[in-house]
Structure 1
Amino acid sequence: MPSISSWTGTPSIKGSTESMRMALLTASLIGLQFTWGIEMTYCTPYLLQLGLTKSKISLVWIAGPLSGLVMQPIVGVIADRSKSKWGRRRPFMVGGTIVVSACLLVLGWTREIVGKFVTDKETKKSATIALAVLSIYAVDFAINAVQASCRSLIVDTLPIPKQQLGSSWASRMVAIGHLIGYGAGALDLGRVFGPMLGDTQFKQLTAIAALTLCVTVGVTCWAVNERVLISDGKDSQGQLGAVETVTQILRTAVNLPRRIAAICFVQFWAWIGWFPFLFYSTTWVGEIYLRYDTPAAAREAEDTLGQVGRIGSLSLIAFSTITFAGSVMLPWLVKPPEDEKPDFTPRPPASIAPIMFEIEKYRPTLLTAWTISHCIFAGSMILAPFVTSLRGATVLVAICGISWAITCWAPFTFMGIEINRLGAAGASSHAYNHLTRDSIELEADSGVLRLNHALDDSHASTGEGSGIYLGILNLYTTLPQFVGTFISWMVFSILEPGKSPELAKEAHPDEHHSTDGPNGIAVCLFIGALSAVVAALVTNRLKHIH
Structure 2
Amino acid sequence: MTYCTPYLLELGLTKSKISLVWIAGPLSGLIMQPIVGVIADRSKSRWGRRRPFMLGGTVLVSMFLLLLGWTKEFVRFFLKEKEAVRQATIVVAVLSIYGIDFAINAVQGSCRGLIVDTLPISKQQLGSSWASRMVAVGSLVGYAAGAVDLGAIFGPMLGDTQFKQLTAVAAITLCVTVGLTSYAVTERVLVSDGKEDEGQIGAMEVLSTIAHNAMNLPRGIAAICHVQFWAWIGWFPFLFYSTTWVGEIYLRYDAPVDAKASEDITGQVGRIGSTALIAFSIITFLMSVILPWFVKSPEDEVPDFTPRPPASIASFVFEMEKYKPSLLTTWTASHCIFAGSMIMAPFVQSLRGATIIVALCGISWAISCWAPFTFLGVEINRLSQHNHRPYGHMTRNSIELESPVQLHLNHGPDESHGSTGASSGAYLGIMNLYTTLPQFVGTFISWAVFSLLEPGKSPELAKEAGPEELKQHAAEGPNAIAVCLFIGALSAAVAAFSTRKLKRLQSEG
Using the size of structure 2 for normalisation, the TM-score is: 0.90
Map of 1:49 onto structure 2: 10
The 1:388–1:217 alpha-carbon spacing in structure 2 relative to 1, beyond 3 Å, is same
Deviation, 1:244, is: 1.0
SS in 1 for 2:191: strand
Deviation, 1:216, is: 0.4
Q: How many residues align?
A: 482
> For the Cα contact (< 8 Å) 2:248–2:461, is it kept in 1?
no
Question: Do residues 248 (structure 1) and 209 (structure 2) align?
Answer: yes
Map of 2:364 onto structure 1: 403
> For the Cα contact (< 8 Å) 2:335–2:492, is it kept in 1?
yes
Map of 2:452 onto structure 1: 494
Deviation, 1:449, is: 10
How many Å separate the matches in 2 of 1:174 and 1:205? 17
The 1:372–1:452 alpha-carbon spacing in structure 2 relative to 1, beyond 3 Å, is closer
Give the residue type in structure 2 aligned to 1:267.
Q
Deviation, 1:239, is: 1.6
Deviation, 1:359, is: 4.5
Deviation, 1:503, is: 2.8
Question: Do residues 299 (structure 1) and 260 (structure 2) align?
Answer: yes
Question: Do residues 343 (structure 1) and 307 (structure 2) align?
Answer: yes
How many Å separate the matches in 2 of 1:394 and 1:358? 39
The 1:501–1:44 alpha-carbon spacing in structure 2 relative to 1, beyond 3 Å, is same
Give the residue type in structure 2 aligned to 1:59.
L
The 1:232–1:495 alpha-carbon spacing in structure 2 relative to 1, beyond 3 Å, is farther
How many Å separate the matches in 2 of 1:342 and 1:300? 64
How many Å separate the matches in 2 of 1:164 and 1:418? 12
Map of 2:392 onto structure 1: none
How many Å separate the matches in 1 of 2:195 and 2:342? 49
Map of 2:394 onto structure 1: none
Aligned ranges 1:52-451 → 2 under 5 Å: 52-231=13-192, 235-236=196-197, 239-337=200-298, 338-339=301-302, 341-343=305-307, 359-426=320-387, 450-451=405-406
> For the Cα contact (< 8 Å) 2:6–2:244, is it kept in 1?
yes
Map of 2:490 onto structure 1: 530
Map of 1:476 onto structure 2: 434
> What are the superposed Cα offsets for residues 499-538 of structure 1, whole Å, 9 maximum, x if unpaired?
12333439x99xx886332100000000000000000000
> For the Cα contact (< 8 Å) 2:132–2:366, is it kept in 1?
yes
Q: Judge which range, 534-543 or 228-237, deviates more.
A: 228-237
SS in 2 for 1:385: helix
Residue identity (%): 72
The 1:131–1:53 alpha-carbon spacing in structure 2 relative to 1, beyond 3 Å, is same
The two structures, once aligned, show a CA RMSD in angstroms of 2.5
How many Å separate the matches in 2 of 1:412 and 1:194? 41
Deviation, 1:450, is: 5.0
> What are the superposed Cα offsets for residues 68-100 of structure 1, whole Å, 9 maximum, x if unpaired?
000000000000000000110000000000000
Deviation, 1:300, is: 1.0
Q: Judge which range, 233-242 or 453-462, deviates more.
A: 453-462
Deviation, 1:470, is: 0.3
> For the Cα contact (< 8 Å) 1:420–1:459, is it kept in 2?
no
The 1:244–1:195 alpha-carbon spacing in structure 2 relative to 1, beyond 3 Å, is same
Deviation, 1:227, is: 1.4
What are structure 1's unaligned runs of at least 5 residues? 1-39, 429-445
Deviation, 1:225, is: 1.6
> What are the superposed Cα offsets for residues 149-181 of structure 1, whole Å, 9 maximum, x if unpaired?
000010000011000000000110111111011
Q: Judge which range, 255-264 or 457-466, deviates more.
A: 457-466
What are structure 2's unaligned runs of at least 5 residues? 390-401
Match of 1:503 among 457, 461, 482: 461
Using the size of structure 1 for normalisation, the TM-score is: 0.84
Map of 2:423 onto structure 1: 465
SS in 2 for 1:426: coil
